[in-house]
Chain A
Amino acid sequence: MDLSRRLRAWALARPRVLIVDAPGTVELRRAVEAELDRRGWPLAMSPADTDVLLVLGLPGPELAAAIDVLWSQIAQPRHRVDLRAATDLHHRLEETVRALGAAAPEEHVDGAVPARAGAGHPAGGMDHSGHEGMDHSGHEGMDHSGMAGMDHSGMAGMDHSGMAGMDHSGMAGMDHAAMGGGGHAGHHMHHGGDVAGLPMAETAPDRDGLALDVLRVAIGPVLPGWPTGLLLRADLQGDVLTSARLSWVDATDDRGSPPGKVHPQRAALDQLASLLLVAGWPTAARDARCARDGLASTDRSELATARRRAERVARRVRRSRALAWTVRGAGHLHSSLGRTAGGDVLDRVRRWCDVASGGDVEAPASPTSLDEVAAVLEGTELGTARLIVASVALDRSAARTAPEEARA
């Protein structure tokens, strides 16, 4: 038994970490990322490949509810750490490894999840209805109630409400609508009811005018390389987004980064790091994070190394023909703020690179409102939408200007 315990401890010594940063924890997040990079702990992509959930700062009520959902989706063994400050970071992470590795699986089950049957739902009316009715008995490994709320809305941002039902009107609607006749709508076979509490998908004309199933999705508030707390609600047809709307969870919570003490070069590297992560270039993202962390140093030689490193990564990204080829033409922002905010994703990437290499240039301005960004997301594919969001500096002061008519 001792051997297997030690094997477990060894296996869990480099856990995969999902970071959830509450507003106002920029410096803490950077410190944590630096420490994780130093230890070689990978960043998780989704709750499914998470071992440790790191919650930074004090999340507001809606984000806290989303975190609970996330937590319920993480497979055992798992551990949650709430960090308020970076002071005893090393110690806390060591403790985390011990807690993960030492505990037998049964011990995990007890302090697992706050019961969330019928709990208040996170993030503005994400639809959890019906998740309570699940029967997990058939699944091996689903041995505790904490996993029962296996819905997706927290992390992967999936609102299942539009998705699981097999919708016959999809087929029927295709047949008729493709012939240009709208009058056949009555022929659609609507099998009322739902699956596992999820209503069926509807049909709507897509970008090319064909009738296609529509899923209502909510993407966010926690995703890799995504501004935590941002929520994208849209209709999804295939992988194309329509009627996209952006909002912040806990919108009244305006603890943004305090103005005035922003280090522009570090901010640019931070932006580049998350953008490169989304663009699927993890080595460059790692270099950008590394340079960013070095720039915070007070040591002169370390600072010089970090500057060189920043220039190198900025040059590499700027000159990358592959990146230019793959992101060019996406997300043209016609900003009222003029040239520095406009252009496509590639223009913005290059401007971030200029700032990141320490050049005396103005950082790309933040869009004035989320609506401005949401308008560009219209009709884009999911991956493009992620790139566009990652290419703009969104801060929480850039709220929706329009009234939130959609909030449930």
Chain B
Amino acid sequence: MLTDLSGWTVAAVVVLGVLSVAGGIAVFVVDSMARATFALLASFLAVAGVLLAFDLVYLAVVTALMMTIEMAIMAVFMIMFMMNPAGLMPMTMVHNARGSAVTGAVTFVVLVVGIWTVDWPIGRTERPEDSTRQLGEAIMGSHMLVMLVIGIGLFATILAGTVLATARGRYDRFGADLAAKRPDDPIPGGLPR
């Protein structure tokens, strides 16, 4: 046998893997934005389940956490541009559906072929006691530079994207000479300023 995992684990991985692929396909099939969003979330949660079956608890839980937040933010953006409860009229979630479907299928095939044909090295090391600790030590140790660069890069991208997307800048809020004491906002926030 290829693996030392138990039969239950293999079965769980297979079922969850099929579920995640099915969820991914559903994104292209369903005709409502909400359903597409949550089909994607279901797919991610199935992946988290696969990780859990491999006993990679931290990665599993973090996947579920991050992907849920991501989908929730997607829902926020949905309201920013359209408000359409239940969304029963047919519509597609994707632009360039054919292109993305082809890309997805090709990637899937390449990865699957690679997985099954590459002669993977067999791990000789013992499985660590605590994979979370091992992961933490890797991130905060040998891979720290990479993680820092990626983290700061992502953060800078988020900030830059927000700044570029915001129509109102500080000159709109505080006046041309930035002299206004209180910002001129359509809806004031909770801070006394």
Closest-CB distance, A376 to chain B (whole angstroms):
14
Asked if B186 and A164 make an inter-chain contact with CB atoms under 8 angstroms apart, the answer reads no
Tell me the B36-62 residues at the A interface (CB within 8 Å): none
Kindly name the residue among B80, B89, B168 whose own CB sees the greatest number of chain A CB atoms within 10 A. B89
Residues of A contacting B33 in the complex (Cβ-Cβ under 8 angstroms): 166
Task: Check: B122 CB closer than 8 A to any chain A CB.
Answer: no
B52-91, CB under 8 A of A: which get 1 and which 0?
0000000000000000000000000001111111111111
Q: How far is the CA of A141 from the CA of B187 in the complex (A)?
A: 43
B85-127, CB under 8 A of A: which get 1 and which 0?
1111111000000000000000000000000000000000000
Asked if A170 and B84 make an inter-chain contact with CB atoms under 8 angstroms apart, the answer reads yes
Residues of A contacting B88 in the complex (Cβ-Cβ under 8 angstroms): 164-166, 195-196
A214 closest partner in B (C-beta)? B83
Q: How far is the CA of A325 from the CA of B192 in the complex (A)?
A: 9
Known: A212-B82, A215-B83. A166 touches B89 (CB 8 A): yes
Asked if B32 and A166 make an inter-chain contact with CB atoms under 8 angstroms apart, the answer reads yes
A181-205, CB under 8 A of B: which get 1 and which 0?
0000000000101011000110000
Task: Check: B164 CB closer than 8 A to any chain A CB.
Answer: no
Q: How far is the CA of A212 from the CA of B89 in the complex (A)?
A: 17
Residues of A contacting B85 in the complex (Cβ-Cβ under 8 angstroms): 163-164
Closest-CB distance, A162 to chain B (whole angstroms):
10
Residues of B contacting A64 in the complex (Cβ-Cβ under 8 angstroms): none
Interface residues on B, range: 20 to 34
Q: How far is the CA of A170 from the CA of B32 in the complex (A)?
A: 13
Closest-CB distance, A180 to chain B (whole angstroms):
11
Chain A residues with a Cβ closer than 8 Å to the other chain, count: 29
Q: How far is the CA of A213 from the CA of B33 in the complex (A)?
A: 14
Known: A165-B89, A191-B90, A200-B89. A170 touches B82 (CB 8 A): yes
A317-361, CB under 8 A of B: which get 1 and which 0?
000000001000100000000000000000000000000000000
Task: Check: B167 CB closer than 8 A to any chain A CB.
Answer: yes
Asked if A166 and B83 make an inter-chain contact with CB atoms under 8 angstroms apart, the answer reads no
Task: Check: B190 CB closer than 8 A to any chain A CB.
Answer: yes
Task: Check: B169 CB closer than 8 A to any chain A CB.
Answer: no
Task: Check: A220 CB closer than 8 A to any chain B CB.
Answer: no
Asked if A166 and B188 make an inter-chain contact with CB atoms under 8 angstroms apart, the answer reads no
Q: How far is the CA of A174 from the CA of B83 in the complex (A)?
A: 12
Asked if B82 and A167 make an inter-chain contact with CB atoms under 8 angstroms apart, the answer reads yes
Q: How far is the CA of A70 from the CA of B82 in the complex (A)?
A: 29
Known: A174-B82, A215-B83. A167 touches B167 (CB 8 A): no
Q: Of the candidates B87, B186, B190, which one forms a contact with A207 in the assembled complex, judged by CB atoms under 8 Å apart?
A: B186
Kindly name the residue among B31, B81, B85, B168 whose own CB sees the greatest number of chain A CB atoms within 10 A. B81
Given A171-B82, A191-B90, A325-B190, 7 other A-B residues pairs in contact with their CB atoms under 8 A? A165-B88, A165-B89, A167-B89, A168-B89, A210-B81, A213-B83, A236-B83
* Chain A residues close to B by CB (< 8 Å): 163-168, 170-171, 174, 191, 193, 195-196, 200-201, 207-210, 212-213, 215, 236-238, 325, 329, 379, 381
Q: Could you pull out 17 A-B pairs where Cβ atoms are within 8 angstroms?
A: A165-B84, A165-B88, A166-B84, A166-B87, A166-B90, A170-B82, A171-B82, A191-B89, A191-B90, A209-B167, A212-B83, A237-B83, A238-B79, A238-B83, A329-B188, A379-B186, A381-B187
